[in-house]
Amino acid sequence: MAAIELEGLTKDYGEVLANDDVTFTVERGEIFGYLGPNGAGKTTTIRTVLGLLSPTDGSARLLGHDVTNEGELIEAKRRLGYLPDSPAFDETATGREILELHASIKGDERSDELLELFDPPLDRPVRDYSHGNVRKLGLVTTFMHEPELVILDEPTGGLDPLMQHRFAEFLRDERERGVTVFFSSHILGEVRRLCDRVGIIRNGRLVTVEPVESLLDRSGKVVRLRAADPIPYDALEIDGVHDLEATLDRGADSEDSARDDSKSAFTECTFTFTGDVNALLERLREYTLLDLSIEEAPLEDVFMRFYGGEVDGEESTAAGRQGTPTEVTDDV
């Protein structure tokens, strides 16, 4: 029995198709990242899985239980922890009162241990909490009853870097204990650090579900090189070169500085390379290089390949991007 099973899940708001035929399975014991830009439909999927929204079509099962049946849903929720993207608690209550309420309804196996790790000011009313402290309290309420499955919507927003690091360590330990983690994010570094598999959603449609490594393979490499003498652009006209950015620097004492060849040659460049590395090295062999680095492309670039020009609201200005249509998504 899988932790989460979605089959053709669709949520149609009339003017927006927030989730369109989304199908995937989250296996027991894995950390599954649900990746997409803001407004892609991540939160809609999560809210449907939790029974907060009813699907227009398709089905969702949580720990083997049909979420559209309230009795079954409640059974699943006994073993579930959920942290929304902006967790909210009764503002007049203190953190301690909130924890007592949660303990009375779903039990408390390990809040002491969690409070050592995430340390919200329990005796202050929630109204005086910072965003980070609300989230820390939320993490305690999410994990305090030893859930088998936790669903986290954008979990690290509002946490400082130290707390983010601690949180990542914590999630890995949870996985070791057998907990299944499903979390959504628009931050690639986070997904890359934590996930076993990743599902990518765009405009309400699931684009792909892959192990995180295969996504990195697919994304290719970032190549940076610096040459002693100008290299003609022709040299890089091979398959798999994207986003080429190059500059020409002949040096001040160059004899033929009057000649304008900046349009046809370069001495320094950066590009994303998805082709065969041997073919690239073959091309470069005849030039004297001062420096060359070939690194794994950041997941941000993988993201760009799926989402085109829009990542987190930031317009890409890189020219020559191939096969990546640009679409703007609505907030859902």
Partner 1 sequence: MFELTRYDGRHRLKGSVYLSIAMSLLAVIVIWIYPSFSGSFEDVDEEFLQAYPDQIIQMFNIQTMASLEGFLAFELYVFGWIILLGLYLAYLAAGTIAGDVERGRMDILLSMPISRARTVGEKFASLGVPIVVVNVITPVVVYVTALLVGEPLSAADLAAVHLLSIPYLFACAGIGLLASVVGDRTSIAQRIALGVTFGLFMLESLLSGTDYEAIGAIAPMRYFDPNEILLESTYDLVGAGVLIAMTVACVVVSQLWFRRRDIQ
Interface contacts to partner 1, rule CB under 8 A: 47, 50-54, 70, 74-75, 77-78, 80-82, 84, 86-90, 92-93, 97, 101-102, 104-106, 138, 141
* Contact status, residue 272 vs residue 240, Cβ threshold 8 Å: no
Structure tokens at 291: 């420096």
Task: Report d(CA 36, CA 187) in Å as an integer.
Answer: 9
Distances (CA, A) of 170 to 3, 173, 195, 273: 20, 5, 13, 35
* C-alpha 76, offset from chain centre: 26
Instruction: Name the residue type at position 66.
Output: D
> How many Å apart are CA 222 and CA 298, to the nearest integer?
8
Strand partners, 82: 151
Q: Which of the 8 DSSP states describes residue 233?
A: G
Smaller CB distance to partner 1: residue 46 or 297? 46
The residue type at 157: G
Min CB(265)–partner 1 separation in Å: 57
Residue closer to partner 1 (CB basis): 135 or 202: 135
How far apart are CB 136 and partner 1 at their closest, in Å? 14
Taking the complex as a whole, the smallest distance from the CB of residue 93 to partner 1 amounts, in Å, to 7
How many Cα atoms are found within 13 Å in the side-chain-facing hemisphere of 301? 21
CB of 134 to partner 1, least distance (A): 11
User: In this complex, which beta carbon is closest to partner 1, that of residue 181 or of residue 299?
Assistant: 181
Choose between 53 and 215: whose C-beta lies nearer to partner 1. 53
Shorter beta-carbon distance to partner 1: residue 46 or 269:
46
Least Å distance between CB 272 and partner 1?
Answer: 39
